[in-house]
Amino acid sequence: MTVAGGTAPYDAGVAGPAVVLPSAVELSPRAEIWLRFRDNRLAVLGLVAIALLVLAALFAPLLTPYDPAAIDPANARQPPSAAHWFGTDQVGRDVYTRVVYGTRVSLRVGIFSVGIATLIGVTAGAVAGYYRGAVDAAVMRATDVLLAFPYILAAIAIISVFGPGERTVILVLGLLGWLAIARVLRSSVLQVTSLEYVTAARALGASGPRILLRHVLPNAIQPVIVYATLFVGSAILAEAALSFLGLGIQEPTPAWGLMVNQGRRFLATSPHLLFFPGAAIFVIVTAFVFVGDGLRDALDPRLQ
């Protein structure tokens, strides 16, 4: 009798040569995360949609021959056509061009506001969760007070000081968005600091900041990555809401929320003015939600 794949004889009663079976290929943690993420079709669809929107934002001048601020009153409120794919607005500007350029505004607001919120929230949550005691109590009570303050009133207060505009919207969303991130990270840090390797690092004499930065944060940051991805979509939606109320992006900057506000007055006669920017908001927010859900499943295999 021969062993499959080899020529060495084998006898049940005689000790034969050891057969080494091929072991399974070991994947790196990043490869495993990517494979789990790839299995989520909606997450991959969202990632493709985000990639296309980023490309549209980067190469906007190549995707349309029109100037987003060029006014042509003679062609005001034209329906979609071969010359103007999404029609024209109330002053004759090409809606497709303004939607494409508006992608830049939405992505900038979403990414930079989330960056500010993540920086503040990670710092506050890590310090509160690791040092606990009076520090934890002070940070958590501060977040409770700020969470109790009405969001729109806080936005109006900040905008009244700095004036409306893109930078102000980013500042508003960043300063008001770190609260949930701090709470999420604090909870994760509390779990990680109770593990044995953290206790061992303390016993070896490692300093608190070193333990926090080298051992705790890398293993506690995963929930923040997921939340930050979801928060990008929420920030874009919040920017659209502020622009809709006249507190955000101002003319002539092409912003989707501002376009929806302007188009609602002509909903009965020119629905394309509201439909296309509204559809753009829906697509980008849904894409980030899909990616966030996919990251949550990929980073936590227990959910599989």
Domain residue limits, the chain: 86-303
pLDDT at position 15 over 80 = no
Instruction: Look at residues 186, 153, 196 and name the one whose alpha carbon lies nearest to residue 172.
Output: 153
**Distances from the Cα of 168 to the Cα of 49, 140, 184, 296, angstroms:** 27, 26, 26, 31
- Dihedral (C-alpha) 300, 106, 87, 241: value to the nearest 10 degrees? 90
Q: Which amino acid is at 157?
A: A
Q: What is the pLDDT of residue 5?
A: 47
For residue 135, what are its two tokens?
A: 């520090």
State mean pLDDT over 1-22. 48
Of 99 and 151, which is predicted with more confidence? 99
How open is the CA angle 77-82-84, to the nearest 5 degrees? 35
155/176 Cα distance (integer angstroms):
8
Cα–Cα distances in Å, from 125 out to 54, 119, 141, 170, 228? 31, 10, 12, 21, 14
Q: Mean pLDDT score of the chain, rounded to an integer? A: 85
Domain 86-303 sits in CATH at 1.10.3720.10
**For residues 105 and 68, is the Cβ–Cβ distance under 8 A?**
no
* DSSP bridge partners of 115: none
